[in-house]
Structure 1
Amino acid sequence: MNYETKVDLADTRDGVLLEGDPEAEAARAKRRKMWTIVGVIVVGALVALWLLTRGEETVPFAAGEDSTTPRVTVVSPGAGTIQGYINATGTLAARREMPVGVVGEGGRVVSVAVEPGDWVRAGQVLAVIDRSVQNQQASAQEAQINVAQADADLAQANLDRALQLVERGFISQADIDRLTATRDAAVARVEVARAQLAERRARNAQLNIVAPAAGLVLTRNVEPGQVVSPGSGTLFSIARGGEMELLARIGEVELGAVNVGATGLVTPVGTDQQFTCQVWQKSPVIDELTRQGTARCALSYDPALRPGGFASIEMASQAVVAPRLPESAIMSDDRGSYVYIIDDENLVVRRDVELGMISDEGIAVASGLQGDERVVLRAGGFLTEGETVRPVTETAQ
């Protein structure tokens, strides 16, 4: 007799599910999932703990402290030499701009010899004014000299004849004196005529508009055919020697820190070129409205430097010895700027400070700190004066 023996894959022994039982597989999967979740939670807790402490050294509790005492990061900034820099803006201009106009009596412009951007030498003719009438006047003056010279020659001849006759008694001494005076007057008229001719020629020479010194022509405000006179204003403007300057507008405090002779870097708007300049003069007055003064910075000629253009400048100022702190350590309220320091008893103390120069490395503290204090580096806004904390020192950069 054949019996089919059906072997069940699931056999329970002592309450343990054997392998092959679906319920056993489900139980094992559930346990793996649970352990995975527990592992994730543990790792997350460790990461959160690291983020909170940021790798800071664990500080043991001091006497009277408990686990609720807040921990703050502090730094002793010390004091170092800080090279000051001043950034400002200003307008480019000719260092010595020479306005050129009509010197003589004026007239109709015949020709103009230069254009803006041309270099000229001292005495070079810039424009010529018609002098046809003045030339005729000069010719007339030359003729007057000849007339006066002829009268002087005649007066001298009469005097010579009279001197020969006076010895014979035909002419009195009074006649001699009269003839001598006539001769002297005629000679004087010759000198007057010559002076008038020289004046006329000098006036004619002034009809040419010339450059008073060598330099670069900046503007031209005259055209051929134009009638000009001494009241016509500036016809040409010339930068003497082509020298330029930047009129930098600087606050009155910073202006006092700039020394004559200090150098700076000028960057004209619209270009990335930089030019070295030197402060040669500081304004003796301060604008009452803007509270700014002008530092005049000399520049050598370059085509990229155009008078009237806008430019920025960075120049070195006086170096100072002071502590320097990051911006996160500085706070302010209606009483001014201040920092929190931690005293010997680990209490938070407010310290009012006066700020100095600001740079990429931090903010200089002009007064209020010696540099050896423990200054709260960050999160000072969450502290109150007199609060007890646990300071963690961070090395000053």
Structure 2
Amino acid sequence: MRSSSAAAFRLWAWTLVAASTLVLSACGRDDAVEEAPRPVLVIHPTASDHTASAFAGDVRAREESPLSFRVGGKLVQRNVDVGDHVRAGQVLATLDPGDLQAQARAAQAQLAAAEAELGRARADQARFAKLAGEQLVSRSTLDAQNAAATAAQGQVNAARADVEVARNQAAYSQLRATRDGVIAARQAEAGQVVAAGQSVFTLAADGVREVAFAVPETMAGKVKAGQAVQVEAWSRPGQRWNGRIREISPAADPASRTFAARVTVDAPAGAIDLGQSARVYLPTQTSEGLSVPIAALQRENGKASVFVVDTKTSTVKLRPVQIGAFGEDRVPVQGGVQADDWVVAAGGHLLRDGQKVQPVDRDNRPVVTPTATSAR
């Protein structure tokens, strides 16, 4: 009796475990099948009446000069820092003048010796000229004295030139501003030994301000000197000034493969500051097609596509598109979508082709499609 009761209990327990397993597995399958639709923001493509390519740049001075000493030596004093406004002729830095002053004194001593030799040679010349007049010395002896006096004069002239050079060298121990401007960069510090011609400061001259930016290779043929553009400072969004491309480099940078360009800005004085970030807007040709937000684009293997909602099945389909030049926040679509398509405006990287979605507009209201309306 007891053994048969135990066997019956074990059979009942195994039956209960098997039934529980079947129920759990069935629930798991139902959860996998019934995936909740993902809410997505959708918009209709809009007419692309005008687009503009935007480039990031920074404000520069038209004239930026590296300042350096004309002689080498130890930098003993630096009088200005980055951002300081300086005047033409102002002393910016000083080298140790000891060796240069010693060279100037040596040149002055050589000049004194040459002048003394010149005085002696001229005195001898005068005496021999008198003796030659009395026919007490030969003509050749007088000619030799004349030549000696001329040579002594040449030595004096050379010594005077050496003194002038030495004085200039001593004066070069002071680095002065070449014109009014702002110190844009500093490349040396007090105590450092610098060579002749080594850059110590970069001076941004007062006057015209420009925006320097880089043009990618794909746009190089569309950017020309003299072309009209618009410039917007990052610190003043929405406020744009007219500008004109002054120059563009004929060769690409070997590292970035971009072409350096400069824009002259018609901005009021003080409106933009050196080093400030700015955008350069290059207008493109008027387009009759459609445009979508840049965030709607999906890029894979160099090809562009967008997610379009299928109104019949409430699923998304990845549709290839042909695009034009990028604007500030939109891109023209030259093919692949229609004006009445619902395009996923953002978050496409979280979707997959064929996924169930719940389309909503910018006010978070469900989008009512014509199919859904007729079904009701």
Q: Aligned partners of 1:170, 1:107: CA distance in 2, in Å?
A: 62
Count of aligned pairs between the two proteins: 278
Amino-acid identity (%): 25
TM (normalized to structure 1)? 0.56
| Counterpart for residue 356 of structure 1 | 324
Match among 170, 187, 193 for residue 153 of structure 2: 187
Check conservation: 1:218, 1:236, Cα contact below 8 A: yes
Matching of residue 97 in structure 1 with residue 64 in structure 2: yes
Contact 2:62 2:208 in 1 (8 A): yes
Shift in alpha-carbon separation, 1:207–1:275, aligned structure 2, 3 A: farther
State the SS of the aligned residue for 2:161: helix
Range 240-249 or range 207-216, more displaced: 240-249
In the alignment, structure 1 residue 149 sits paired with structure 2 residue 110? no
Counterpart CA distance in 2 for 1:379 and 1:272 is 31
Q: Is 1:207 matched with 2:195?
A: no
1:378 to 2:346 alignment:
no
Match of 1:118 in 2: 84
Task: Write the letter of the residue equivalent to 2:74.
Answer: G
Q: 1:356 to 1:175 in 2, by over 3 A?
A: same
How many angstroms apart in 2 are the aligned matches of 1:292 and 1:302?
30
Distance 1:185 1:94, change over 3 A: same
Q: Separation in 2 of the partners of 1:192 and 1:172? A: 31
Amino acid at match of 2:54: N
**1:135 alignment counterpart:** 101
CA contact (8 A) 1:323 1:364 kept: no
Partner of 2:135: 169
- Residue 280 of structure 1 deviates from its aligned partner by 1.6
Q: CA deviation at 1:196?
A: 0.9
* Corresponding position of 2:212: 247
The residue aligned with 1:256 is 221
For 1:156 and 1:106, how far apart are their aligned partners in 2?
Answer: 42
Q: Give the equivalent residue in structure 2 for 1:87.
A: 54
- Pair 1:323 & 2:294 matched: no
Runs (5+) with no aligned partner, structure 2: 1-46, 306-319, 344-376
Residue aligning to 1:266: 232
Give distance in 2, aligned partners of 1:181 and 1:129: 43
Aligned CA RMSD, in angstroms, stands at: 4.3
- Find the counterpart in structure 2 of residue 393 from structure 1: none
Quote the Cα distance in structure 2 between the aligned partners of 1:150 and 1:282.
Answer: 62
Q: Deviations over 1:71-99 (max 9, x none)?
A: xxxxxx8xx9x444111223555543322
Confirm or deny: 8 A CA contact 1:258 1:317 kept in the other structure: no
Structure 1 runs not aligned, ≥5 long:
1-76, 338-351, 369-374, 381-397
* Counterparts of 1:217 and 1:290, CA distance in 2: 27
| Structure-1 separation of matches of 2:99 and 2:328 | 72
CA distance in 2, matches of 1:289, 1:222: 27
Counterpart contact for 1:119–1:215, Cα < 8 Å: yes
Shift, 1:241, TM fit: 2.3
Q: Which amino acid aligns with 1:215?
A: G
If the length of structure 2 is used for normalisation, what is the TM-score? 0.59
Distance 1:220 1:312, change over 3 A: closer
Match of residue 342 from structure 1? none
Structure 1 position 303, deviation (Å): 8.6
**d(CA) in 2 for partners of 1:219 and 1:175?**
67
Match of 2:164 among 198, 201, 217: 198
Contact 1:221/1:236 (<8 A) preserved: yes
Per-residue CA deviation, residues 246-286 of structure 1 (Å, 9 max, x unaligned), is 33233334343334342322333x77585635422223234
